[in-house]
Every structure is written in structure tokens, then in C-alpha cells.
Structure 1
């Protein structure tokens, strides 16, 4: 069949006229696969760690809850001191009374002094750096798979990196004014 051009599909195909066979053959296997993937990815996530991260947020009802913070600190081998948590609670309560309440974890981290609250600050720093999901990483690999095709095998590492960043951060790139600053352009 090398010399022939096919204009229609070839081969046997089963028609699914009824919705029950379509559910059995298409929908249910897809749902089973998705549930299996979710269980595989997230079964190792400990709820205590997530509660500890939540306890670092001033928006949480468990903000600076010592039991939740201890779970997070213990997992990362941080010796969290009870006194630090108590003093920090009082310190941040005074800030709130003065009208300077912290809005997010980064603000709390910046308000705490490293000398006075070393273990609490380290615990909050860990919670700030723990990735919430792997979506951005997976998006990067998808972008690389699209960019580094067979036709672009000779592309250099610097150009590939630049294209990948542009592809992943395309929303931010669309808001740039390309005429305002020519220093960004490479010769």
C-alpha cells in the first residue's frame, strides 16, 4: 500500500450506539485511571503537614496553633520552642491592635526577628517554600516537549531556556510593552 493514498479510514471499527457500552468502555476506565493517579500522587501527603502550613497563615482560624506548628516543625527537624510561639502570638496581637495586622505568611515572616524567634521563623520559612502543587513543574515539562521537537534539535541551551521561559510565562509576557525598553532584546 506504499503507492496508494488513502482518503478514508481503514480497519474495523465498533459503533457505540448505546450509552451503557460507551460508559463501560470509555468513561469508567478513564475515571478509574484518574482516581488511581490521584491516589498515587497524593496518598503520601500527611494532613498534619498541611495543617502546619495552614497554621502559619494569619488568615487561618488555627493561626500559630502550637500543635499544628509542631507537626510541621517535627517533620523538618526544627526544634520549635513553645515560648517563641506564645511571645509571637502576643507580639502579633499587639500589631493587630495597633492596626498593622499581617495579611499573609510573608508579612508574618518579615515581622518576626531572627534572634527572638529563630525556630518559629524557620518553620514559617519552610511553609513558604513548600510547593503547593506540581502544576508549574508539569507545565514546564509540557512546554519543553512542545519546544524541543525533532526540527529544533540543533537549538542551543540558552535559546531553549529563553523559549521555555517565554512559553511558561506567556501570561506575564503578554502584558509587557515591547517598545518601551530595547535593552531586553538580545542582538
Structure 2
């Protein structure tokens, strides 16, 4: 059990460290104001390398760098984190002026740092797959997991209608004339 806890903690910290390596330079705006321009450009290029897929990309790294160099020194002092920066950009209609910053901050704030949904699914699997069900096939196990995870919706199903429909489809009686 302790080994399992240690492994899970290491996975979480690895995930969080990876997230911070990619987006960390944007979290502390006061530190970003004092960061050398070469380092900002390197962070923008690294972030682009992580987020681009093939030839498509949501932002341009050099344009992001230029926008950061233009916007960050002129920010009001009350803006200390990226949520406030996003609100400031939205409220002052600066999306068109700083589109790359706007896109990157939205990506930053929507990427889940937590693994709560995956953990919820695995905890449901632990409940379903106990030692009696180890021989169960993967398809049946997956179906039971979905039913357990979506238990609220499953409780609202009309079982009589489902049974009647199933019996119509699976009926083996043929009428020969």
C-alpha cells in the first residue's frame, strides 16, 4: 500500500513539474517583468514546441514574445496572476491587440493539472473488479465501469422498455408459412 501511495505521489509531482516547466514563466508576472528577453523568447519557443501538433499551432512563439515584451512592462500593479491578466485583457477588449497572450493564458487555465477524473474512474474500477471478477472480460468490465461511473443516469433508465427491445432483437422464433 505504501509503495502504491509513493508511486501515485511521484506521478502527480512529475505531472505538475512538467506543467510548470511548460507554463511556469507565465505564473509569476512580476518575475516575468524582470526576466531577460532571451529567456522569454526561449520559454515562448519551448511552449510552442509542446503545444503544436504537426504544422498547426494556436499561437506564434515570436509574436507571443513580442506581445509579452509590449504588455508586461505596462501592466497595472494590481495584476499579479494570470487569472487577473485574462480578466484585464477581456474587460479592456485587448484580445485583438494581444491575441497570442490571450490564447496561451486560456490554454494555461483550461489544462487540468489534477488527475481527479482519472482517479475517480480507477476507484470505480477497484470497486467493480474485485477478486471474484478477475476472470471477467475487458468489454464487460468496461461496460460495468461506465454504468458505475454514470450511475445517476443509469438509475433513470426504463428497464422494462430495454428488456422488450432486447427480446425483439434477440428473438429466435421464426414464423414459417
What is the TM-score with the length of structure 2 in the denominator? 0.48
Q: Which is bigger in relative contact order (C-alpha 8 A, separation at least 6)? A: 2
Pick the structure with more helix per residue.
Answer: 2
What is the TM-score with the length of structure 1 in the denominator? 0.46
